[in-house]
Chain A
């Protein structure tokens, strides 16, 4: 074993955390040299997906997502459900709530159980039906034992929409709505992964939410983002920076399940900084906020939707959390949050 990591630039786990580190890796390495599409948005925008204008009335939305997760089967879901939901939701976040079709590429480790593969497949079929879409093409590769950890699933999705919603459309005065309780997925995974013995009440929220978004979407919804890796903190910071506004979040109004809150207090991890896989953040013009909220709450996946904040013209690029007791910045976490000592 040689000591090199402190001396040369290397990719580390933090680059996969969904926060600043990942965006700087994309900006510094991947996005360089690729031109933007003539009519649309590409890599440089680092949005949930790319858009390409087809004609005066329609946009093609494309997105892709690779899924790795340990454990593969977790309370509330599995990697199959996650891989379909992730891509369907990324399309929905661009305003494209009807996924025309998905692709599915799998890389599997030598020795992987076929029975397990069948369970993952069944879950993908069920989730596609739930999302009103299907898998239209795919690819399979097998790698040697130890060359990959079990299975990696990549899905891509395409959809057509009349109106593109970006993550940079917030204006001062807009209201921030979250579609339900936050932190469910991240806390469930963390409890399962670190054997914290807390998993009884913790369930991932992984679900396709395109029908929920379709039910609430109107012209006053000016920005959307799903708070996946990095959680609400990361998503709101990105939206604030890209939109050049400040955001104030009223913490007492952020819906959090008691079980998630309890687990987060015990292991010292902020539920605002962990992943959600079935939630969205919407920026809405204030006069439509009530209508959007009502529409969300009428849907089974949006019953706990709430207005959690508003945009201001000061503190641009920052998210301020009003805790009810005082105020602080809500910043992005760096890398994967780790349970702390006491």
Chain B
């Protein structure tokens, strides 16, 4: 059965193999590049691309998972709200993120009212269905998803019992932090195509100027990722740091201006801790004062000290998520990985989200070298239409 997916040019197997060969030929010395997007890691893992990356090319997953970098106190705020009897609506990934004491899933086992939603709009619908209850949308994601949150906040018909607890993050500042880390081996960045759809690729020009590191904007299909890496490795080899957009079917230099206007009309940046990474100046998105009436932090008293009677998880001290998200270490360097820290009982945030490096390595097998498995003999495929 041939499927629509295989008919897409970006999933053409021959094209992908050809690009993989070009990448192999170009990578003539050990190199490290970083992508800063969970969706890139997801696609790399999902399509098994690490098995065809050149041995000398280290493609590091940076702090690109918004769920993973959600900090303990942000989860705690949601847990405290939930324990006050407020309905919390959030994306599925957020439910298992460990807080200081509990995740939202734990709170749910204790009777808290937690709802999985797929969009901010669904959270608003939930509030409409329960006019006598308070519904808080625990919002996470980068500027891409923040635009969707902004779109419901500016809706004049928003029900009174709906508010937003923003854990949204802004990606450009964290790239600066990673580029300036003294131990960094990163020689170039693969930027996220979907975020750039909003911000435009022009936003990276100043970064390139400051750090003399190339940035390539890439999409998420197998051919997109390999084409992006071919371009990036070429720029690294040629020592020609500049921004190249390999995702022109979606990304322009200016980006989506109406979406940017909506984003900045609702949100402002403030500095804040990204879990395991560092304090990121301007890294967090919070609601502007004119939207205080929709801001859960303004509407409810949130006293985090109510959680302090309970002991925090004991293993957290050994967790190296921060080093992993900074590209300094890989999951294999962590003694908890695959032992004490598994998707069932995650210790660190990277094991929680489906976009987290550790979770993805665990889920799709970052460990065994699968490049050596012999291809199936043609006979084994006989008779398949």
Report which A residues bind B (CB closer than 8 A). Answer: 1-7, 10, 12, 14, 20-21, 175, 181, 194-196, 248, 250, 252-253, 255-256, 258, 261-262, 265, 267-268, 270, 286, 289-290, 293-294, 304, 306-307, 310, 312, 314-315, 318, 320-329, 331, 333-335, 338-342
Question: Is the beta-carbon distance between B106 and A338 smaller than 8 angstroms?
Answer: no
Inter-chain contacts of A331 with B (CB < 8 A): 362-365
Measured in the bound complex, the distance between the Cα atoms of B77 and A11 in whole Å is 26
> How far does the alpha carbon of A312 sit from the alpha carbon of B376 in the complex, in Å?
10
Q: Please indicate the chain B residues that have their CB under 8 angstroms from the CB of A270 in the complex.
A: 46
Q: How far is the CA of A253 from the CA of B123 in the complex (A)?
A: 39
Decide if B83 touches A1 in the complex (CB within 8 Å): yes
Contact of B47 among A290, A323, A333, A334 (CB under 8 A): A323
Q: Is the interface of A mostly helix, strand, loop or mixed?
A: loop
Chain B interface residue bracket vs A: 35 or more
A194 touches B116 (CB 8 A): yes
Which chain A residues border B17 with CB–CB below 8 Å? Answer: 325
Query: What is the CA–CA distance of A237 and B84 in the complex, to the nearest angstrom?
Result: 42
- Residue pair B51, A327 in contact (C-beta under 8 Å): yes
Q: Please list the residues of chain B having a beta carbon within 8 angstroms of any beta carbon in chain A.
A: 1, 3-6, 11, 13, 16-17, 20, 38-39, 42, 45-52, 66-67, 83, 91-95, 101-102, 105-106, 109-112, 116-118, 122, 140-141, 144-145, 194, 222, 307, 310, 313, 342-344, 353-355, 362-365, 368, 370-371, 373, 375-376, 379-385
Contacting residues, chain B, for A314 (C-beta < 8 A): 373
Q: CB within 8 A of A326: which of B38, B51, B67, B95?
A: B51
Q: B344–A340 contact, CB under 8 A? A: no
Are B102 and A248 in contact, with the CB atoms below 8 A? no
Q: Nearest 6 pairs between A and B by C-beta?
A: A329-B365, A338-B92, A326-B48, A328-B48, A327-B370, A326-B51
With both chains docked as a complex, state the minimum distance between the C-beta of A216 and any C-beta of chain B, in angstroms.
Answer: 14
Residues from chain A with a CB closer than 8 A to the CB of B365 are 318, 320, 328-329, 331
A248 to B372, CA, bound (A): 13
18 A-B contacts, Cβ less than 8 Å apart?
A: A4-B110, A5-B109, A14-B344, A258-B4, A268-B42, A286-B379, A307-B384, A310-B380, A320-B370, A320-B373, A323-B48, A326-B52, A327-B371, A328-B48, A328-B50, A328-B51, A340-B93, A341-B92
CB of B342 within 8 A of CB of A5, answer no
Tell me the bound Cα distance from A318 to B52 in angstroms: 20
